[in-house]
Amino acid sequence: MSERMRAIVLPRHGGPDVLELQELDRPTPADHELLVRVVASGTNPVEAKMRQNAAWAGLTPPFVLGYDASGVVEAVGASVRDFAVGDEVYYTPEIFGNTRGSYAEYNAVPAAIVARKPRSMSHEEAAAVPLAGGTAWEGLVRRLQVRPGETVLIHGGAGGVGSYAVQIAKAMGARVLATAGARNQQVLRDLGADVAIDYASDDVAAVARAETNGAGVDVVFDTAGGDNIQKSIPATRPFGRLATILTPTGTLAGLSSKNQTLHGIFLMREGERLREMARLIDQGKLRSLVDRVLPLADVREAHERLDSGHGTGKIVLRVSES
C-alpha cells in the first residue's frame, strides 16, 4: 500500500470553506521528476480565482491547488542529474492541467522547473518567491529589459508581484515610481521606491510626468489591471515600453503615434529564472514581503485573506517541518 500524505483538496468550486484537508496517496516521481517534501507553500490570487473557476487552466475538481513551494528533495527520478536527496529547493508548479499543486506534503515536479532555494531565505520566505517574483523578473528583466538610469512606473507596488517588481527594478539600476493605497506608502519606500504614489488620491500620470520633467517615464509595469495601461500611455515617453500581467481595459490611444510597445506577461515555468533570482536574493537585493505564516490546516483563512484583496505581502502556508 502507498504511503499517504496530507493535502488540501478542492472538491468542488466555491468559497474558501469548500477547501478540505484530506489524506491522499503520495505521488511517485517519474524519471524526469523530483519528489519534494513541501515545507512551505505560498498562496496567490490565481489560486482564489481557480477555487471559483479553473476551466481556463484545463482543470475540473477535485484537484490540489498551490503554485509556490519550498521544500526538500526526498527522491530523484532516474534521468535527473542536477539534484540529490536532501537538496533544499523552490519552484512554482505548473498550472495548466496540473491536478497536484503545492498545498500538499509531497509534490512530484519536473526537475527542469526547480532550482536550489536561496541560502539566505527560510522556506517560508522562499515559498513566496517563485510565482510572484518570477512574474516580476520575467516582465522587467526579460521582456521590458530595463536599463540602468531608466525611470520605471510600477502599478501595485505593494502587491504580490509588485513588491518584487519594485526591488528588481531598483536592482537593475532604475529610478522607481510605485503606486499603492494610502496605508502602503511606507511599504513602497521600504522596498526601495524613489517616489511613492497614492493611486486613490494622486493623479498617477501627472506625478509620472512631473517626476520626469514632462518627458514621460521609460517603462511601465502594471500588476493591478483595469485602465492603468490606457492612463499610463500619455505619461510614457516615445519608444517607451509598457507591460501588464492582466488584460488592459480602455482604448490604447497614443501607443502607435508614440512608437510604444506593450508586453503581455504570463509566467512559464523554468528553473533558470529561479537560479538567477536566488543569486539576487543571496546578495541581499531581493526579499519577500511575508504578511503571515499559517499552518496548512488554516488554508480557509488564507483564502479569505486572498479574497479580501487587501493584504500587504504574502500569506504562506506551513506544510511540514523544515
Minimum Å gap between C-beta 85 and its own copies is 35
Q: From the list 249, 272, 279, 295, which residue makes contact with its own copies (rule: CB under 8 A)?
A: 249
What ranges in the chain are assigned the alpha helix state H? 45-52, 123-126, 130-137, 160-171, 185-191, 204-211, 228-232, 271-282, 299-308
Phi, psi torsion values for 195, nearest 5 degrees: -135, 120
Contact segment (CB under 8 A) with its own copies among 155-163, 176-184, 259-267, 302-310 equals: 259-267
Which residue, among 275, 187, 258, has the nearest Cα to 220 in the 3D structure? Answer: 258
State which residue, 200 or 266, has the beta carbon closest to its own copies: 266
What span, in angstroms and rounded, lies between the C-alpha atoms of 38 and 130?
14
Sign, Cα dihedral of 259, 265, 268, 274: positive
Largest CA-CA distance found in the chain, in angstroms, rounded: 70
Q: Which of 2, 201, 213, 247 binds its own copies (CB under 8 A)?
A: 247
The answer to whether 264 contacts its own copies (rule: CB under 8 A) is yes
For its own copies, which is the closer residue by CB, 238 or 295? 238
Nearer to its own copies, 14 or 250 (CB): 250
162 binding its own copies? (CB under 8 A): no
From 168-176, 255-263, 271-279, 297-305, give the range in contact with its own copies by CB under 8 A: 255-263
CA separation (Å) from 241 to 140, 149, 204?
10, 15, 17
One of 248, 269, 277, 289 touching its own copies (CB under 8 A): 248
Positions in 105-144 near its own copies (CB under 8 A): 143
User: What per-residue string of b and e applies to 11-41 under the rule 16 or more CB within 10 Å gives b?
Assistant: eeeeebebbeeeebebbebeeebbbbbbbbb
Name the residue nearer to its own copies (CB basis): 28 or 249: 249
- The rounded distance, in Å, linking the Cα atoms of 202 and 207 is 8
Binding to its own copies (CB under 8 A) within 37-66 occurs at: 56
Least distance from C-beta 143 to its own copies, angstroms?
7
Query: Is residue 130 packed enough to be buried (19+ CB in 10 Å), middle (13-18) or exposed (0-12)?
Result: buried
Q: What is the DSSP string of 270-299?
A: -HHHHHHHHHHHHTTS----EEEEEEGGGH
The string of DSSP letters for 39-77 reads EEEE--HHHHHHHH--GGGT--SSBB----EEEEEEEE-
201 binds its own copies per the rule CB under 8 A? no
Interface residue with its own copies among 2, 213, 257, 308 (CB under 8 A) is: 257
The one-letter amino acid code at 295 reads P
Residues of span 139-158 touching its own copies by CB under 8 A: 143
Residue type, position 246, single letter: L
Contact call for residue 2 and its own copies (CB under 8 A): no
Question: Quick one: which segment of 14-22, 77-85, 202-210, 239-247 binds its own copies (CB under 8 A)?
Answer: 239-247
Nearer of residues 248 and 311 to its own copies, judged by Cβ:
248
Would you count residue 268 as binding its own copies (CB under 8 A)? Answer: yes
The yes or no reply on residue 308 touching its own copies (CB under 8 A) is no
d(CA 58, CA 96): 6
Listed ranges 40-48, 81-89, 241-249, 306-314: which one lies at the site for its own copies (CB under 8 A): 241-249
When the beta carbons of 39 and 48 are compared against its own copies, the nearer one is 48
How is residue 247 written as a grid cell? 488584460
Least gap, CB of 250 to its own copies (angstroms)? 9
Residues contributing to the site for its own copies (CB under 8 A): 56, 143, 244-249, 251-266, 268
